[in-house]
Structure 1
Amino acid sequence: MANTYLRIDIVSDVVCPWCVIGYQRLLRALEAFPAQFDVNIVWHPFELNPDMPEAGENLREHIARKYRITAAQSEDNRARLTALGTDVGFAFNFTVEMRIYNTHQAHKLLHWSESSGQQTALQMQLFRNYFTHGKNLSHESVLLDAVETVGLDRQEAAAALQDTAISRQTRAREEQLLMQGIQGVPLFIFNQEYAIKGADDVSVFEQQLHAILHRHST
């Protein structure tokens, strides 16, 4: 019997820790269905802070102001995220100096890489560069190093970063998602029919995958 085709559209930002956790949980869920799905994952842009300047802002100060929480609450949140990351095999290294950056350039490269077959690899490399290594994702050299690490062409990526058409396409996709009512990330859309909002438990993803298999078998 042929595998069930499964397209998963993921709306995400590269500075969203819950996007990392949600994706890692999705992978765990897929492991429970070996050789049952033919999976195609496509990442879509969402900027949590589209007006963030290139220099960025101290992450702790930004989170405290944006969500109106105390420094102690912010610290507790980071400790929780670090533990959850460890649980799903991802290293979050939050530091006092860590900053949050504008992510438009990163999303341009992810859009450019979609047809390459390496979009997910690039997405994960950008997650690691930011959350594990604390790199500035608005710096061209950081982005191009990530491109090269996953085996894509550095010069082509550099040209893509300067391409105004790619920038327009990326912003148009973001605007389209906003017009569809998407106001937060992560969002996982299965076969353009079913959606899971947020980084739900592995069991929630498994239930969704079971439902898709059941529908295709009846």
Structure 2
Amino acid sequence: MQQIKIDLVSDIACPWCAIGFARLEKALKSLPDINATIEWHAFELNPDKNMSKEPILPALSRKYGRPEAEMRAAQENMIRIATELGLNFSKMQQRFTCNTFDAHRLVKWADTQHKATAMKQALFNAYFGEAADVSNHEVLMQCAQSTGLDKDAAAKVLATNEYADIVDADIAKYQHAGISSVPAFVINNKYLISGAQEPSQLAAALQQIAGEASA
């Protein structure tokens, strides 16, 4: 069995990050001889903690300087891709912009109980599937509870600045490394795969990297 480590840099508010992870899972299922350890790392698309919430389509239109209809078409394409992968993106176009810092803190807490991936997936589902506000502490506590974590314990984490330094360090580390868009997959602390690549492309890259590592 070949071992690889995948550091996955992503944001909860990034639809391609949810798609990218689903594609990674599919790639890894096609590689039974590779055992991958996955560690999630924080990135913020909207780092302003005091940002005003705005409907996603006009927000994206302003950010990218493109017509709202074009943004809607791009979102519809992502919904199609996500649905084919079994993801719930049913309310993707009804969501609002939001800051994800506290959500990232909760992922770090979940990681101490080996639930980081489950927590991340619950957050993706809440944001894209339910158009929930993933900066809202009640929403975050419900996501924690849905993964089998203790809701009251999650509330205690959210009521403090616990794990904030770890999230800040994550963001600073990968920005310093030159990562400016997500998802980004750092393999064995050496190789970078950017973007939500197709499962076949990911599988080929991972197989090559694992082979080089074992050699």
Q: TM-score range by the shorter chain?
A: over 0.9
Query: Between Structure 1 and Structure 2, how many residues are aligned?
Result: 215
Give the one of 115, 118, 121 matched to 2:118: 121
- Residue deviations 1:77-113, cap 9 Å, x none? 0111111112212121246642121111101111122
Q: Does structure 1 retain, via aligned residues, the 8 Å contact 2:10–2:182? A: yes
- 1:157-196 superposed matches below 5 A: 157-196=154-193
> What is the one-letter code of the residue matched to 2:122?
Q
- Residue deviations 1:106-145, cap 9 Å, x none? 0111112222111000000000001001111011111011
Cα offset, 1:20, TM superposition: 0.9
Cα offset, 1:37, TM superposition: 2.3
Q: Does structure 2 retain, via aligned residues, the 8 Å contact 1:4–1:38? A: yes
Match of 1:18 in 2: 16
> Mean Cα displacement is larger for which, 176-185 or 116-125?
176-185
> What is the one-letter code of the residue matched to 1:9?
D
CA RMSD in angstroms, aligned pairs only? 1.6
Cα offset, 1:201, TM superposition: 1.3
Task: Report whether the alignment pairs 1:152 with 2:178.
Answer: no
Q: Does structure 2 retain, via aligned residues, the 8 Å contact 1:54–1:138? A: no
Structure 2 unaligned spans of 5+: none
Give the one of 73, 76, 83 matched to 2:80: 83
Q: Does structure 2 retain, via aligned residues, the 8 Å contact 1:53–1:101? A: no
Name the SS for the 2:163 alignment partner.
helix
Structure 1 unaligned spans of 5+: none
- Identity of paired residues, percent? 32
Task: Report whether the alignment pairs 1:47 with 2:44.
Answer: yes
- Residue deviations 1:10-51, cap 9 Å, x none? 1000010000111111111111112x2222111100000111
Q: TM-score by structure 2 length?
A: 0.93
Cα offset, 1:191, TM superposition: 1.5
Cα offset, 1:168, TM superposition: 2.4
